[in-house]
Structure 1
Amino acid sequence: MTNQTYPKNAWYVAAMSEEIGLEKPLGRKVCGERIAFYRPKPNEVAAVLDFCPHRGAALSLGYVEDGLLVCGYHGLKIGEDGKTKAMPLQRVQGFPCMKAYAVEELYGFIWVWPGDQSQADASLIPRLEWAESDDWAYGGGLYHIKCDYRLMIDNLMDLTHETYVHASSIGQKEIDESPVSTQSEGDEVITSRYMENIMAPPFWQAALRANGLADDVPVDRWQRCRFTPPSNVMIDVGVAHAGKGGYDAPKEFKASSIVVDFITPENDDTMWYFWGMARNFKADDEALTDSIREGQGGIFQEDLEVLEYQQVNLKAFPDYDLLKLNIDAGGVQSRRIIERLIRTEQDSSKLSKNGIVSDLKVEERPLQTISF
């Protein structure tokens, strides 16, 4: 079996909706697949292999005309099914069909299935309740990061690093002084940390003020990180005035949000990081959304630097056996789920190639809390 590092039979966020216009396609590599995304019509999206069957040019460098993707090299026109539809002075019936990808536009994102297209099922795209309600506002962005996507999962499932990497915004000493709990629920992993009767750090002081709450009184703070395969992490974070119920405090006593993290492998060493924050207070305040986006973007920029240097170090010392501590349990369990999905995918592919048809059943073993 190959040393595959990511599942391919899954839905990944490939782009934000606004990245794909009506006239110009978008080229992006997802899980090692070079894909050209374009809009055959308004509010529709298609995805085909970013390869022209004529001379191998990148179709994403072309343009869209009459619902077809036109190669910018010699004018070959390809449809959303991957078939060549026309080319100047050429009969195209015998042209090879390029791979077309299952693609969906939902919640303001473009989702693609890079693996076996026969297994693509739009109902498997995770439901985002915050994206379906007008009571929530969302603002986010995109970073291209030169690191293994699993390093970002590790980073987000253990927020102890906030004390040190984000000391000027969301970090505080009480984070690494508070125990973290790690649990699994099927294919999901949840890490939780609660801090009581502390002072809010700068970012959360600003959030309290924005929500019309005092920012100079003790608060209860929480962080609940949820990993969902293949590589999504949603983090329920917030603060409430101390003694008002913490995580379960009434809305009028707290400021809370969901940190949104869609982590998409480009290849083994690089990734696309779609980050953002959804909040359910002052949802119609666009200036507040912009302010939070700017602040959060700066915070994640700090992560980017750490992770890219970490990738360089791990490449330089491939035989070093890294320590695993209690705070690493969330990342460890998440990686185990990823590894199991990859094994299942590879076993299924092997059976298919050998012409074996069977009802393959993979034993499901519940993952338990890890103690190191």
Structure 2
Amino acid sequence: MSIDNQGPQWIYEDGIGEQRALLIQNGQPIALRLQHPQIMRYGRIFDGKIVKKISGKNLAIILDDNDVEALLQPIPKGVSEGQHIRAEIKREPIEEKGRFKFALAKPALDLAKLSNGYDLAQIISAPLDCKQAEPKKSVSTLVAANQQKPPRKLTPQIENIFDYGWEDLYQMAWDGQWVFEGGELDIHITPAMTLIDIDGSLPPYQLAKKAAEQVAKAIYAFDLQGSIGVDFPTLALKSERQEICDIFDAHMHANCERTAVNGFGFMQIVRRRTGPSVVEILQYRRSYAAAVQILARAANIKGAGQLQIKVHPAIAALLEQNQGLVDSLQNALGRQINLSSSGHLPIYGALFHNEAEIYG
């Protein structure tokens, strides 16, 4: 378990039903990323059929050869319904409370090669924030591509991502909270934007200064994207509000645009949207996310013979419907897996019979 402490480095593993990555700097985890199986993955280039134009919006529904839908914008001139074109996914589908946003595609060049899109290893090898030109008036990135060590893939059965502090960051993302000395950030996902509320026991000015650094770190740590609103403590002096902006800029690890902090303490931040954030994945795919984390922990249990795993009934039902996940665990361990359920366990908890230890 060796990590070079001289610069940031991503480590990653191909887990059962999930790819996961952790950024380590100075021996500490500072960011995590998740990727679940997804056909309409960011960067995918495919040939699709225009099945319906949406009136007045320069938008169309496009269907790939697996009958998976995406929205195409803009519609190339002269293209009609029923016609096939080559398209590229520029934003993955996003689940929200009460609705589902289809993947968003753009026309691709006819000579563009077909592609399955970026997997997690490719994303962390070339950070997406560094692939595009700097937006006008944007905050410059501190964790730039030329500062990072090449990502290192963990060796299965020998090391795992949990050995490097994965669960602490993961738990904060799961809870939608970022805890720091003197306060905490509460992260709320809404259809309009991600809202960050600041709470703490410090005086408003001191709390705002501390929170400005922590907001920047949390945005990068959880890959918060799109429109982000931050509710700082109200500060009367413009000079104090400007100091909050300066602190935020000094610690922001991702390209973004932002407003000033207004008199009510509100700052708006905008980051390019390519897919769901870690917090969104865990909030809207809660059962699946919990299930694959349980399987990840099970994959590291030593022993022989049958491994009995007791989980929440919702997780048991999900795994029964996705038997391939359990089969992959059995193949990885070379052992038979026996699932059972208990309503007394939290959705992310599990009891592994061999070690008789409750996780979660």
- TM-score scaled to structure 2, two decimals? 0.28
Q: Which gives a bigger RCO, structure 1 or 2 (Cα 8 Å, sep 6+)?
A: 1
